[in-house]
């Protein structure tokens, strides 16, 4: 799919298909804006079947390799006075995961063995979270309300234990290993709040390794759109859904009002599926008459308890480099970098509280993602010969850009632009500590704040995921409440993954 460049948007609303799987092209470079790799598409993972159905089985995935080995890297110690050390986890299964950890942290052999028992059962441990959505709602509510669920599974008890608690002793004895363990997760912030069953599930998935979608992440949206069109459907882009039309007489969703420029068009359909996420759907798409309808009232109240706890935000850096790719010394495998091995959750809690000025003086604690599709994907060189790219995500406080929240994209003024550029260049300087060879190769730089992300994806909060993965969010009650079924007839909400 030809990637569309991020453009100024006078009307507001999404201008392209794909959400966080959108890519954009500028000055001969092409960048992924959100999705950087797909850990769950390993053929050993049952979830890959669902994705393959959605994309018509027509996507190819590339294994992310380091020296022909399929692996994940965690490097710690880029802060001044620290010694850099790297740890690698070879992709394979839980067995390779245990072997790699034990080789690198032999002093923790016993602990690793114990943890691995849980990771092996990761799917099973997390299954109640998914299954509660699959049984009839009345039954799910009944077993939750009466506590019968606790006779069937100990999920609720386990879910209250966070990774901070489980890894407490490891963090004291082997802080590097604690970082490596917590970084098996995608949404690492705040890593110390993850409920343990969820961690075991993600660790089980991540041990299979990461894959990159050949052709870039926009392949997802391109292939899905093709599937829809081939089955007689239509895909509208640059069409903002203003409201879901709900007939108050029978509490049935029957269509959507779409704004096309200055026009509003009502589109009717027997089933309405909102994939904008629960927060956007409830806060801005459902009319107040539907929110206040007696049949929906409890569901809305229950949802509101869960949807306001947004995940932490990120700052994006898009860097274009003079190639060829093999001279740039970039990584094809997935990697994350930490300034120190200080407890992850605590670093973030502290960093998030810094003012912008303080953050400009402080060390950036972590590069959450460093992604280099130009070396992972051989089609990149064909599409953009002689170009290399680096995409970075680093943690940033949404407070730093809050003063410009209500303002329009690309019209936020010089002060905002200066602040964004200042922080962006600080991130770039941090990157040079790890990849000094890039310094005189940079041809293109572009930065994105959480406001940029929300403008383009209409996310209304959150970063990598929309909601924070806290014990509350991962509770069975929240799973049921945030599931696709709603009391409004004909209306379904599909969220950002099962996990939103």
Ligand X SMILES: Cc1cc2nc3c(=O)[nH]c(=O)nc-3n(C[C@H](O)[C@H](O)[C@H](O)COP(=O)(O)OP(=O)(O)OC[C@H]3O[C@@H](n4cnc5c(N)ncnc54)[C@H](O)[C@@H]3O)c2cc1C
Of the candidates 190, 457, 477, 488, which one interacts with ligand X according to CB under 6 A? 457
Question: 381-420 mask for ligand X (x: CB under 6 A)?
Answer: ------------x---------------------------
Residues 418-447, one symbol each (x = binds ligand X by CB under 6 A, - = not), give ------------------------------
Helix axes 109-120, 94-104, angle to 10 degrees: 160
- Bridge partners (DSSP) of residue 428 are none
Distance, in Å, from the CA atom of 234 to the CA atom of 90, rounded to the nearest integer, reads 42
Backbone angles phi, psi at 137, to 5 degrees: -60, -40
According to CB under 6 A, which residues from 277 to 336 bind ligand X? 280, 314
- 464 belongs to the binding site for ligand X (CB under 6 A): yes
State the helix-helix crossing angle for 122-131 and 109-120, rounded to 10 degrees. Answer: 40
How far is it between the farthest Cα atoms of the chain? 69
Nearer to ligand X among residue 36 and residue 164 (C-beta): 36
The residue of the chain with the least Cβ separation from ligand X equals 19
Of positions 1, 6, 29, 36, contacts ligand X by CB under 6 A:
36
Nearest approach, Cβ of residue 429 and ligand X (Å): 22
Q: How many separate helices (H) and strands (E) can be counted in the chain? A: 22, 17
**Residues 238 and 14: beta-carbon distance below 8 Å:** yes
Q: What's the rounded Cα separation, in Å, for the pair 394 and 493?
A: 30
Q: Are 303 and 150 in contact (CB under 8 A)?
A: no
Please tell me what DSSP assigns to residue 47.
Answer: H
Shortest Å, Cβ 100 to ligand X? 22
Within 10 A of 217 (CB to CB), how many other CB atoms are there? 25
| Residue closer to ligand X, measured from CB, 341 or 452 | 452
Among 24, 31, 37, 351, binds ligand X (CB under 6 A): 37
Query: Rounded to whole angstroms, how far apart are CA atoms 78 and 218?
Result: 33
Which one of 223, 419, 454, 459 is in contact with ligand X (CB under 6 A)?
459
User: Residues in contact with ligand X, total (CB under 6 A)?
Assistant: 25
Of 20 and 94, nearer to ligand X (C-beta) is 20
Q: How far apart are CA 124 and CA 336, in angstroms?
A: 28
Residue among 276, 291, 392, 480 that touches ligand X (CB under 6 A): 276
Per CB under 6 A, which region of 130-138, 323-331, 395-403, 452-460 contacts ligand X? 452-460
Q: Write each residue from 71 to 110 as x if it is in contact with ligand X (CB under 6 A), else as -, in one continuous string.
A: ----------------------------------------
Using CB under 6 A as the criterion, what x/- string covers residues 220-259 for binding ligand X?
--------------------xx------------------
| Minimum distance, C-beta of residue 102 to ligand X, in the bound complex (Å) | 28
Using the rule CB under 6 A, is 20 a contact of ligand X?
yes
Is residue 45 close enough to count as binding ligand X by CB under 6 A?
Answer: no
Report whether 441 contacts 328 (CB < 8 A): yes
- Exposure string for 225-253, b = 16+ CB within 10 A, e = fewer: bebeeeeeeeeeebbbbbbbbbeeeebbb
Counting Cβ atoms within 10 Å, is residue 473 exposed (0-12), middle (13-18) or buried (19+)? buried
Tell me the window of 45-53, 106-114, 176-184, 450-458 that interacts with ligand X (CB under 6 A). Answer: 450-458
- Which residues are near ligand X by CB under 6 A? 13-14, 18-21, 34-38, 240-241, 275-276, 280, 314, 393, 453, 457-459, 464, 496-497
């Amino acid at each position: 799919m030809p990637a569309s460049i991020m453009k100024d948007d006078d009307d507001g609303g999404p201008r392209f298909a794909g959400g966080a799987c959108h890519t954009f092209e500028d000055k001969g470079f092409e960048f992924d804006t959100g999705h950087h790799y797909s850990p769950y598409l390993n053929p050993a993972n049952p979830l890959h079947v669902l994705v393959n159905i959605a994309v018509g089985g027509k996507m190819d995935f590339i294994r992310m390799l380091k020296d022909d080995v399929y692996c994940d890297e965690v490097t710690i110690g880029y802060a001044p006075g620290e010694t850099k050390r790297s740890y690698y986890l070879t992709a394979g299964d839980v067995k390779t995961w245990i072997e790699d950890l034990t080789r690198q942290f032999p002093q923790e052999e016993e602990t690793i063995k114990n943890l691995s028992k849980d990771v092996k059962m990761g799917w099973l441990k997390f299954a109640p979270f998914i299954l509660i959505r699959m049984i009839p709602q009345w039954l799910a509510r009944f077993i939750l309300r009466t506590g019968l669920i606790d006779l069937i599974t100990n999920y609720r008890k386990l879910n209250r234990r966070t990774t901070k608690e489980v890894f407490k002793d490891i963090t004291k004895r082997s802080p590097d290993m604690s970082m490596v363990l917590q970084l098996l997760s995608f949404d690492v912030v705040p890593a110390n709040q993850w409920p343990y069953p969820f961690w075991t599930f993600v660790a089980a998935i991540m041990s299979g390794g990461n894959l990159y979608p050949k052709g870039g992440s926009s392949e997802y949206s391109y292939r899905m759109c093709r599937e829809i069109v081939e089955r007689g459907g239509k895909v509208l882009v640059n069409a903002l859904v203003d409201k879901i039309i709900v007939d108050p007489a029978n509490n049935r969703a029957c269509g959507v009002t779409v704004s096309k420029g200055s026009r509003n068009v009502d589109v009717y359909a027997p089933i309405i599926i909102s994939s904008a996420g629960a927060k956007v759907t409830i806060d801005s798409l459902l009319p107040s008459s539907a929110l206040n309808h007696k049949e929906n009232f409890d569901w809305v109240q229950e949802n509101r308890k869960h949807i306001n706890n947004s995940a932490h935000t990120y700052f994006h850096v898009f860097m274009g480099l003079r190639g060829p790719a093999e001279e740039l010394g970039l990584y094809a495998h997935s990697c994350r970098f930490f300034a120190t091995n200080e407890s992850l959750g605590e670093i973030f809690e502290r960093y998030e509280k810094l003012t912008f000025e303080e953050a400009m003086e402080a060390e950036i604690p972590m590069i959450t993602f460093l992604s280099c599709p130009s070396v992972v994907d051989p089609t990149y060189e064909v599409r953009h010969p002689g170009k290399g790219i680096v995409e970075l995500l680093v943690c940033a406080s949404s407070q730093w850009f809050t003063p410009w929240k209500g303002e329009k994209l690309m019209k936020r003024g010089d002060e905002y632009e200066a602040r964004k550029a200042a922080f962006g260049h600080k991130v770039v300087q941090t990157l040079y500590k790890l990849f000094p060879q890039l310094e005189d190769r940079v041809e293109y730089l572009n930065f994105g704040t959480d406001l940029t992300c929300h403008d383009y994806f209409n996310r209304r909060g959150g970063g990598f995921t929309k909601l924070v993965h806290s014990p509350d969010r991962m509770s069975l009650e929240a799973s049921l409440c945030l599931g696709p079924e709603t009391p409004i007839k004909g209306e379904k909400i599909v969220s950002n993954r099962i996990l939103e």
